[in-house]
Amino acid sequence: MDLVKFKTKEEFLVEYGIKNCIERYSGMRSLAEIVDTKSITLASVKRLYGVAFIISYINEWIVSLNEFVNIQRKMSPEQIEKTSGYILDDFYYLKIPDIYFLFSEAKKGRYGEFYESLDGAKIMSWFDKYTEQRAEFCFKEGMREHEKTKDSKIF
C-alpha cells in the first residue's frame, strides 16, 4: 500500500529528484531509519507514471554513481538502461529511500572495491546484499514486535 500519493510527475520529481533525495536522506545512516521512512515503491512509480519514467529515473541514479567513481571502465548508456530494467524487475518493492541508501553505501565503498570497472552484475549483487540485510532487519524487527505483544497479554 502506498503511504504517499502523488498526482503529477512534477510533484514526484520535486520530492524525489536525486538532489532532493540527497538533501532529505543524507542524515540517515541506518537501515532502521530508511525502512521506517514513509515513501513510494518503484512498482508504484511505474504504475503511476509508466515504465519509461521509472527506468529513466533509475538510470539517473546509476549515471550519478558512474560520474562519482573514478574508474577506467564506466558503464555505457545501454548497459545502464538494461541494469535499470533488471532492478525494476527484481526489486520493484524497494522504496526510493532504499535506492538512495544503497547507492550512497556503494559510493562510500561499503560493498567493496570497484577494481577499475562498474557493470550491471556488480550493481545487481549490491541490490541482493542490500535486500538480504533489509529482510533480516525486518524479520528481527518483526520478532521484536511479536515478543512485545506476547508479553503484554493478560489472562
Provide the mask over 48-77, with x wherever binding to another protein is found by CB under 8 A and - wherever it is not. ----xx-xxx-xx--x--xx--xxxxx-xx
3-class state of residue 54 by DSSP: helix
CB contact burial 72-90 (16+ within 10 A = b; e otherwise): eebbeeebbbebbbebbee
Cell numbers linked to 140? 528481527
Q: Does residue 9 belong to the site contacting another protein (CB under 8 A)?
A: yes
Q: Does residue 30 belong to the site contacting another protein (CB under 8 A)?
A: no
Q: Does residue 113 belong to the site contacting another protein (CB under 8 A)?
A: no
Q: How far is the CB of 48 from another protein (least distance, A)?
A: 12
Nearer to another protein, 1 or 52 (CB): 52
- 41 close to 2: Cβ distance less than 8 angstroms: yes
Cell numbers linked to 115? 577494481
Q: How far is the CB of 36 from another protein (least distance, A)?
A: 27
Q: How far is the CB of 20 from another protein (least distance, A)?
A: 13
Burial (CB count <10 Å: 0-12, 13-18, 19+), residue 26: exposed
Residues near another protein (CB under 8 A) are: 8-10, 13, 52-53, 55-57, 59-60, 63, 66-67, 70-74, 76-77, 80
